[in-house]
A and B are shown apart, each in its own frame.
Chain A
């Protein structure tokens, strides 16, 4: 009965034309927690994708980026400089969306399904120092994956301007 009701609600919402938001809630992967409705879009990734997949390949494709995103998050949640900021974070979701975002911006052909950079980091009070600490953790994760230094910098070139959205003014 309950099940039926929620289906009916879903149908109604779809009919109202906010399909994107409803879909995002509906498709919560098993190990993740639901988030407030938002409209998924590759524009949320906050960077245009690279035109060719050469750098993407230097990262060992989506599998490599998944390992790097996991390495970055695993380091950051124990890093004394920034771990407090991640205290209530949905770690599996963060690893998944980061891997998608990296894959998208490197021209790997993935879609980014996460939230937009400005609203997700709003009110966290992230400083430049925190931002750079995270970059250092990313550099460490990329080094473990064996990504050549020049290719590492090409991903950082895509992420660096996000400082303007992530760091609190």
Chain B
């Protein structure tokens, strides 16, 4: 498994660079309107931040191939999470993404008996297919833009995952996401239903001593467009609680996404991740820097 994962990750990160290089002479980037491709979700594809959306990453329309790279940093009371990766959007129809997440327990690692700075690493490979609707143009109908997708996640700490009751060190999430821009109200709404076994999105493995079955979870975002460049809003993401040693909470955030220009955007959020691995009330800052093309 290791090799294909690494190859795919490298491919997803390098392809964007190659494409950018090839089209640099044309002096044009993308054809989408600002922020209509969403921002990068924590799991790599286009989304709002914690939630995955039904839009396809990158600035390209159905006539091109675009994409987005991101570096994301979350700093809550007892942990930090670093994520980086990229997504390629083919003809505004298909999205392939690869993301690496490092969940750093820092000083908390010692208290958990794992050792200071113990870090769980997770690789996520995603594929998304847009199936109907257009989030931006379909302003005369209620139909949102709908996409289906899957995320293959693999965790590098199988032994610890098993020690805390996790059943698997890899797993696949399946989701349906629906996203709609409501221009008449200057709102953007998105909701997704995800079938998952993941503990803390997979950072603590998949399935647990309490349950090893797929459960349907909801994730949603609502934002208001304050200018062409700025969207502010909030998100909610429900999660299963499969592990006996520590209950798992739903996640939420309040975010602001700002497009500095067509290429670079920043998301900043206040996140509440609830209890994580017995440490309570994990709240703090989420910052993500993105480059789209």
Q: Are B183 and A154 in contact (CB-based, < 8 A)? A: yes
Q: Are B31 and A161 in contact (CB-based, < 8 A)? A: no
Query: Interface size (B, Cβ < 8 Å)?
Result: 25
How extensive is the interface on chain A, given as a class? Answer: 20 to 34
Q: Cβ of B138: which chain A residues have Cβ within 8 Å of it? A: 160-161
CB distance from B10 to the nearest CB of A (A): 30
Q: Are A153 and B225 in contact (CB-based, < 8 A)? A: yes
A156 to B138, CA, bound (A): 11
CB distance from B135 to the nearest CB of A (A): 10
Q: Given A161-B138, A161-B139, do A129 and B227 touch, yes or no (CB 8 Å)?
A: no
Q: Cβ of B225: which chain A residues have Cβ within 8 Å of it? A: 149, 153
Q: Are A81 and B28 in contact (CB-based, < 8 A)? A: yes
Tell me the residues in window 129-143 of chain A with beta carbons closer than 8 Å to chain B beta carbons.
Answer: 129, 132-133, 135-136, 139
Q: Are B28 and A154 in contact (CB-based, < 8 A)? A: no
A127 to B31, CA, bound (A): 9
Q: Are A127 and B184 in contact (CB-based, < 8 A)? A: no
Q: Given A132-B33, A163-B137, do A149 and B183 touch, yes or no (CB 8 Å)?
A: no
Q: Given A129-B31, A129-B63, A132-B32, do A153 and B137 touch, yes or no (CB 8 Å)?
A: no
CB distance from A139 to the nearest CB of B (A): 6
Q: Are B33 and A136 in contact (CB-based, < 8 A)? A: yes
Report which B residues bind A (CB closer than 8 A): 28, 30-33, 61-64, 92, 134, 136-141, 182-184, 186, 225-228
CB distance from A129 to the nearest CB of B (A): 3
A149 to B224, CA, bound (A): 12
Partner of A127, one of B30, B63, B134: B63
A81 to B140, CA, bound (A): 27
Q: Are B139 and A157 in contact (CB-based, < 8 A)? A: yes
Whose C-beta in chain B lies nearest to the C-beta of A150?
B186
CB distance from B182 to the nearest CB of A (A): 8
Q: Cβ of B32: which chain A residues have Cβ within 8 Å of it? A: 132
Q: Cβ of B64: which chain A residues have Cβ within 8 Å of it? A: 129
Whose C-beta in chain B lies nearest to the C-beta of A128?
B61
CB distance from B36 to the nearest CB of A (A): 9
The yes or no answer to A164 lying at the interface (CB within 8 A) is yes
Q: Are B186 and A133 in contact (CB-based, < 8 A)? A: no
Q: Are A161 and B228 in contact (CB-based, < 8 A)? A: no
CB distance from A90 to the nearest CB of B (A): 27
Q: Cβ of B28: which chain A residues have Cβ within 8 Å of it? A: 81
Q: Cβ of A67: which chain B residues have Cβ within 8 Å of it? A: none
The yes or no answer to A158 lying at the interface (CB within 8 A) is yes
Q: Cβ of B227: which chain A residues have Cβ within 8 Å of it? A: 149
